[in-house]
Amino acid sequence: MQIAVSDLAGATQDFEKRLGFTVDMRSSRFPSGLENRIIDLHEREYLELLAIYNPQTGHADIREMEQSLERGGGLIGFGVRVSSAEATASHLRKEGFQVQGPIAGTPTYPGIEETPPVLWRRVQLKTGRKFIDDVIFFSEYVAGAYAEFQSRHPELPSARGDPPNHRNSAIGRLHPWLAVASLEEASAIYERVGFPRVRRTRFSLLNGNAVELGIGHNSLVLVESVAEPSPVQDFLSRRDSSYGLMGLSLGVQSLGTALGAMPPGIAARLGSGEGLFGKSVVVPPEHAHGLWLELFETQPRSGL
């Protein structure tokens, strides 16, 4: 999950001190002019804090990031991990979709002149519908590529192993919320891509209706406003758009632990209730860099 932030160091501190996550302090930089830091979770899931480090590259990603930050930041995209980018692109083309890619990608590391090998391959949909083209991508990560590069540069940290123990007890189970103007139009095209409908439900927190679509053991929640005023309508109005990633449900082992990891002044204002995925608390956008962050109580799968 990609989260646009204006200040990478400041966002790192906020996610650690205010929300209780452990942020990997190593940064990666990309030719586009963006840099990131990672919040590792279980089952190879992660949150990615993204910021601009060089606005002069002229890359399209810079303008898109600037526009997102002008609207308050927050979620700007989410990736689906696949075993083969080539097979994914082939499948989508057979289903009648236009795609871009696979596109090879690699970052750079400050102080190291050697260009790393290809670390991932990405596929992007080109349907002509912004609520999917600008939202989702598919990534294949090249096994062993970083470890091989790091073996020649021992000053770099070793490849990521087990995820850290977050103070808020976060374990993952990521369910992004995509606000849309037309629930049925959006759900129909996502189902065509291959994400099955799990349920249609009321999303009381947002005064809206929702459709949950399965993506592996996670899901995508499409939501539309059913009446004004509503957070969905406010969100889309501020974006001057008919769609946008507005929030995220994320599993924690204990809500009490999650609340205890936050400053008392924030935790005291967050009441628990029944959310889309069980008992939860919701952190509003002003405390989570532009996104609604629902923490719901769950347990890790066996073997974790």
User: What structural domains does the chain harbor?
Assistant: 2-152 (3.10.180.10), 170-297 (3.10.180.10)
Residues sharing a CB contact under 8 Å with residue 204, sequence separation 6 or more, in sequence order: none
Q: Give the model's pLDDT for residue 100.
A: 94
Residues sharing a CB contact under 8 Å with residue 23, sequence separation 6 or more, in sequence order: 12, 15, 16, 37, 38, 39, 49
Residues sharing a CB contact under 8 Å with residue 208, sequence separation 6 or more, in sequence order: 202, 223, 224, 225, 226, 230, 232
Q: Give the model's pLDDT for residue 300.
A: 59
Model pTM? 0.90
Q: What is the mean pLDDT of each run of 10 residues along the chain (304 residues)?
A: 95 96 88 92 90 92 91 91 95 94 88 89 93 93 89 79 85 94 93 94 92 93 89 89 94 95 93 89 94 88 40
